Amino acid sequence: MILSLDTSTTVCSAALHTLTGELLGCYELFTERTASSRLTTLLHDVVAHAGFALADVSAIAVAKGPGSYTGLRIGVSTAKGLCFALDKPLIGINTLVAMTEQIRPFYAPGNALSGTLFCPMIDARRMEVYCAIYDQQGQEVQPTSATILDEQSFANWLAQQPVVFFGDGAAKARPVLTHPNAIFPAVQVRPSARTVGTLAVQAYAAGQFEDLIAFEPYYLKEFMTTKPKAVL
């Protein structure tokens, strides 16, 4: 089995899959400030309620980012700690790829929207989002980046084919991306350990494991801090 976790945003989730891809359990919390206080409980419960122990899992998978600095640190630290304690391999999954896996099956090749591209977006302050673009096979056609949104964003893609924009950053994109090929689904798509696990099953079969010591979250941008004011 593979135990997966995602704390890329304020959503905190844990999932358990068999090595054949069957989902055994998934817990998700959508409240603020849940990752640090509830993550270990979710991980324990999703395994225990499926009738197993943590020692029974074959690998630990984690959404590596991009996303919240704090959330990613918590998730990756927890995943690495479990791997060290249980002597299990670590699998890192791009958060945007896992988000795309949630919505891609609804736009299967051959339907009315054949050729549709997918652009997952994570809010990154002001008019900036973390995003990438994937095709209907889930292959990357525009790499992950921090993008400032305006009327010309994605103009070259929208001129050629429909693009589905989703994730919490898509709310900022909707008012400025008015091209008829810009699609904004009514259903909200949030990062989830459910699809992190789906992709981790494939990575496990391919032997794609992380260097447990060197692995770090995919922050995408440097963490910005301010100096505290001097005490008078």
Categorize the per-residue pLDDT at 30 as very low, low, confident or very high, splitting at 50, 70 and 90: confident
Q: Any residues with CB less than 8 A from the CB of 39 and at least 6 apart, and which?
A: 5, 7, 12, 14, 74, 75, 78
Model pLDDT, residue 38: 83
Model pLDDT, residue 226: 44
For residue 165, is pLDDT > 70?
yes
pLDDT digits (tens, 9 = 90+) for 41-79: 999 999 999 999 999 999 999 999 999 998 999 999 999
**Could you tell me what percent of the chain has a pLDDT over 70?**
90
Helices in 12-167 by DSSP H: which ranges? 35-48, 69-86, 95-103, 155-158
CA atoms of 159 and 137, how far apart (whole Å): 20
Tell me the average pLDDT of the chain. Answer: 90
Per-position b or e across 57-76, b if 16+ CB within 10 A of its CB: bebbbbbbbbbbbebbbbbb
Please state the rounded mean pLDDT for residues 138-160. Answer: 93
Model pLDDT, residue 223: 47
Model pLDDT, residue 112: 54
Model pLDDT, residue 224: 44
User: What architecture is domain 97-183?
Assistant: 2-Layer Sandwich (3.30)
2-95+191-205 belongs to which CATH class? alpha beta
Please state the rounded mean pLDDT for residues 125-150. Answer: 93
- Ramachandran area for residue 138 (φ above 0: left; ψ -120 to 50: alpha; else beta): left
Domain range summary for the chain, segments of one domain joined by +: 2-95+191-205, 97-183
pLDDT digits (tens, 9 = 90+) for 198-224: 999 999 999 999 999 999 999 986 544
> Comparing 2-95+191-205 with 97-183, is the CATH topology the same?
yes
Q: Rounded to the nearest 5°, which phi and psi values hold at 3?
A: -100, 125
CA atoms of 1 and 22, how far apart (whole Å): 9
Please state the rounded mean pLDDT for residues 100-129. Answer: 84
Categorize the per-residue pLDDT at 82 as very low, low, confident or very high, splitting at 50, 70 and 90: very high
For residue 231, is pLDDT > 80?
no
Whether the Cβ atoms of residue 41 and residue 49 lie closer than 8 Å to each other? no
Whether the Cβ atoms of residue 103 and residue 195 lie closer than 8 Å to each other? no
CA atoms of 101 and 31, how far apart (whole Å): 23
Categorize the per-residue pLDDT at 34 as very low, low, confident or very high, splitting at 50, 70 and 90: low
Whether the Cβ atoms of residue 176 and residue 155 lie closer than 8 Å to each other? no
**pTM of structure:** 0.90
CA 144 vs CA 10, 44, 121, 130, 147: distances in Å? 20, 32, 10, 7, 9
For residue 171, is pLDDT > 60?
yes
For residue 110, is pLDDT > 50?
yes
Model pLDDT, residue 194: 97
| Helix, coil or strand: residue 156 | helix
Report residue 33 as tokens: 């400030």
- DSSP code of 229? P
Give kind and range of the element (H or E) at residue 121.
strand 117-123
